[in-house]
Amino acid sequence: MNFDLADQADKFVMLLGGLVAFVVLVGGLLLVLDVIPTKLAERREARLAAAADAGVPIAPGAARGREGWLALGFLAPALLLLSIGLIFPAIRTTVLSFMNGDSTRWVGFDNYTWMFGQPDIQNVLLNTLVWVLVVPTLAATIGLLYAIMVDKARGEAVAKALIFLPMAISFVGASIIWKFVYAYRSGEQDQIGLLNQIVVWFGGEPRQWLLEEGFKLNTLLLIVIMIWIQAGFAMVILSAAIKAIPAEIVEAAKIDGTNAWQMFWRITLPAIRAALIVVVVTITIATLKVFDIVRTMTNGNYDTSVIANEMYNQSFRYGETGHGSALAVFLFVLVIPIVIFQIRNIRKQRSEA
């Protein structure tokens, strides 16, 4: 199939039209919301000045009411989009989770009892738990250790770039790379998988890694991929935080004769606490939603499924909207405490600052 640019002209025109519409709409909105308040403010100042000249006091409430409307004007587009894209679907999903597969009948809590009653869904929940416990902990730890190790070392930029690179690859791309790492060929053939080749070099038998369900080995092997991607993210944020520690403090600590161990626990860690929390929270939320890796690597077979993958399968492939919605609601409930924790944390920092 050859691509004829002229043939696609009408698509480009449509694209251009879309862009123009966007500029006109958003630009116009910004203009209106910027120009009007400025004008209003000018007029108010003029009025205030006139009133001051005349010696008549003006009630402050009138101006504030108008500002409230203005704030609403600014917020309205965002609120509208949020409610269309987020709030309404969240309510709808919750409602659907109390209905049957094709959303025609109320079933009460059946979908939730199904979720906690089915052995293979229990296994899905357990897998998600393993993911959430392991990924943020290891990714943050590895990122932190790496950041400290390469800090002010020679070739720091290159070392950092190396571990940051996986961040730039999509989850699906990363999964395909790792699929080759875990690939299996029987003993008598040449191995194409890196891991099995190493095993063979050491005289072992090649194994079908993704089928190894014992000790959740296959799930852990999938987790490695997520860590591989996220450690770079953790490293970048933490490295920036380390560099932001005031030099005087480090200096003073050195003069006081701290060793590396004390330096880490007493100085570095408390100083980057806020950044560390951001990293852990972000990675935790990303891990709860993990979907691409599992879908690409095993599609949830061999007992490796996680909530997001099961949710997609139930809703869209099996037509069991009720089951899928219940899983979605459960995932939502899991994320809420983390978000609350993060908000409180930010508030606390703000009041400390």
Partner 1 sequence: MAVKSRPRQALAVATALGLVLTAAACGGGDDENSAGTGDCSTYEAYKHDGTEVSIYASIRDAEADLLEQSWAEFSECTGIAINYEGSGEFEAQLQVRVDGGNAPDIAFIPQPGLIKRFADSGKLKAVSAETKTQAEANYSADWLKYATVNGQLYGAPFGSNVKSFVWYSPKTFTEKGYKVPTTWDELIALSDQIAGAGEKPWCAGIESGDATGWPATDWIEDVMLRTQTPEVYDQWVNHEIPFNDPKVAEAVDRAGTILKNDKYVNGGFGDSKSISTTAFQEGGLPILEGKCTLHRQASFYANQWPEGTKVAEDGDVYAFYFPAIDAAGGKPILGAGEFTVAFADRPEVQAVQTYLASGEHANARAKLGNWVSANKKLDINNVQNPIDKLSVGILQDASTVFRFDGSDLMPASVGAGTFWKGMVDWINGGKDTAGTLKYIEDSWPK
Q: Establish if 197 lies at the interface with partner 1 (CB under 8 A).
A: no
Q: Establish if 120 lies at the interface with partner 1 (CB under 8 A).
A: yes
Q: Which is nearer to partner 1, 12 or 265 (CB)?
A: 12
Q: Which is nearer to partner 1, 197 or 208 (CB)?
A: 208
Q: How far is C-alpha 7 from the chain's CA centre?
A: 40
295: number of Cβ within 10 Å: 19
Q: Establish if 14 lies at the interface with partner 1 (CB under 8 A).
A: yes
Q: Which is nearer to partner 1, 164 or 312 (CB)?
A: 312
Interacting residue with partner 1 among 317, 337, 352, 353 (CB under 8 A): 317
Q: Which is nearer to partner 1, 38 or 299 (CB)?
A: 299
Q: Which is nearer to partner 1, 136 or 322 (CB)?
A: 322
The Cα 340–Cα 202 span in angstroms is 49
Q: Establish if 302 lies at the interface with partner 1 (CB under 8 A).
A: yes
Site for partner 1 in 259-288 (CB under 8 A): none
The Cα 300–Cα 120 span in angstroms is 11
Minimum gap (Å) between residue 273 Cβ and partner 1: 42
The Cα 165–Cα 276 span in angstroms is 21
Interacting residue with partner 1 among 94, 197, 208, 345 (CB under 8 A): 208
The Cα 7–Cα 229 span in angstroms is 40
Q: Establish if 105 lies at the interface with partner 1 (CB under 8 A).
A: no
Q: Establish if 303 lies at the interface with partner 1 (CB under 8 A).
A: yes
Minimum gap (Å) between residue 187 Cβ and partner 1: 8
**With CB under 8 A as the contact rule, which of the stretches 60-68, 142-150, 205-213, 272-280 interacts with partner 1?**
205-213
Q: Which is nearer to partner 1, 116 or 265 (CB)?
A: 116
Interacting residue with partner 1 among 211, 217, 220, 271 (CB under 8 A): 211
325: number of Cβ within 10 Å: 23
Between the CA atoms of 229, 231, 237 and 242, what dihedral angle is there, to the nearest 10 degrees? -160
123 touches 305 (CB < 8 A): yes
Interacting residue with partner 1 among 38, 83, 113, 299 (CB under 8 A): 299
The type of residue at 280 is V
Interacting residue with partner 1 among 316, 332, 348, 349 (CB under 8 A): 316
Q: How far is C-alpha 347 from the chain's CA centre?
A: 21
Q: Report phi then psi at 99, rounded to 5.
A: -120, 170
β-partners of residue 99 are: 106
Q: Establish if 295 lies at the interface with partner 1 (CB under 8 A).
A: yes
Q: Establish if 123 lies at the interface with partner 1 (CB under 8 A).
A: no
Minimum gap (Å) between residue 7 Cβ and partner 1: 4
β-partners of residue 192 are: none
Of 307, 277, 289, the closest CA to residue 140 belongs to 277
The Cα 339–Cα 96 span in angstroms is 24
240 touches 289 (CB < 8 A): no
Residues in contact with partner 1 by the rule CB under 8 A:
4, 7-8, 10-11, 14, 101-102, 104, 118, 120, 184-187, 208, 210-211, 213, 295, 299-303, 312-314, 316-320
